[in-house]
Amino acid sequence: MKSKLPPGLYIVATPIGNLSDLSPRAASVLAEADLIAVEDSRVTAKLLAHIGVKRPMTAYHDHVAEHVRPQLIAQMADRAIALVSDAGTPLISDPGYKLVRDARAAGIDVTTIPGPSAAVAALTLAGLPTDRFLFLGFLPPKAGARKAAILEVAQVRATLILYESGPRLGATLSALCDMLGDREAAVVREITKRFEETVTGSLEGLAERYRESPPKGEIVIVVAPPGAPEAAGEEQIDEALRQAMARLSPSRAAAEIAESLGLKRKMVYERALQLRDELE
Residue 171, domain extent: 118-223
Residue 259 has pLDDT above 80, yes or no: no
Q: How many domains does the chain have?
A: 3
Q: Are residues 51 and 98 in the same domain?
A: yes
Overall average pLDDT of the 248-262 stretch: 85
Overall average pLDDT of the 244-262 stretch: 86
Q: Are residues 12 and 109 in the same domain?
A: yes
On whether residue 3 sits in a domain, the answer given is: no
Question: What percent of the chain clears pLDDT 90, i.e. is strictly above it?
Answer: 73
Q: Are residues 185 and 257 in the same domain?
A: no
On whether residue 173 sits in a domain, the answer given is: yes
Enclosing H/E stretch for 36: strand 35-38
On whether residue 2 sits in a domain, the answer given is: no
Q: Are residues 125 and 214 in the same domain?
A: yes
Long-range contacts of 235-242 (CB under 8 A, 24+ apart): 236/261, 237/261, 237/263, 237/268, 237/271, 238/271, 238/275, 241/268, 241/271, 241/272, 241/275, 242/275
Residue 11 near residue 110 (C-beta atoms within 8 A): yes
On whether residue 137 sits in a domain, the answer given is: yes
pLDDT in tens, 173-211: 999 999 998 999 999 999 999 999 999 999 999 999 999
Q: Are residues 96 and 122 in the same domain?
A: no
Residue 13 near residue 90 (C-beta atoms within 8 A): yes
Q: Are residues 105 and 131 in the same domain?
A: no
Overall average pLDDT of the 38-44 stretch: 95
pLDDT in tens, 216-239: 989 999 999 987 555 667 888 888
Q: Are residues 60 and 142 in the same domain?
A: no
Write down which residue in 113, 144, 178 finishes a domain: 113
Write down which residue in 86, 113, 140 finishes a domain: 113
Q: How are the residues of the chain apportioned to helix, strand and coil, as percentages rounded to the nearest 5?
A: 45, 20, 35
How high is the pLDDT of residue 239? 87
How high is the pLDDT of residue 267? 85
- CATH number of the domain enclosing 108: 3.40.1010.10
Q: Are residues 62 and 143 in the same domain?
A: no
pLDDT band for 36, please (50, 70, 90 cuts): very high
Q: For residue 217, which of 122, 77, 140, 98 has the smallest C-alpha distance?
A: 122
Residue 35 near residue 10 (C-beta atoms within 8 A): no
Q: Are residues 98 and 123 in the same domain?
A: no
pLDDT in tens, 73-87: 999 999 999 999 999
pLDDT band for 277, please (50, 70, 90 cuts): confident
Q: Are residues 132 and 181 in the same domain?
A: yes
Write down which residue in 178, 199, 223 finishes a domain: 223
Residue 280 has pLDDT above 70, yes or no: no
Overall average pLDDT of the 136-143 stretch: 93
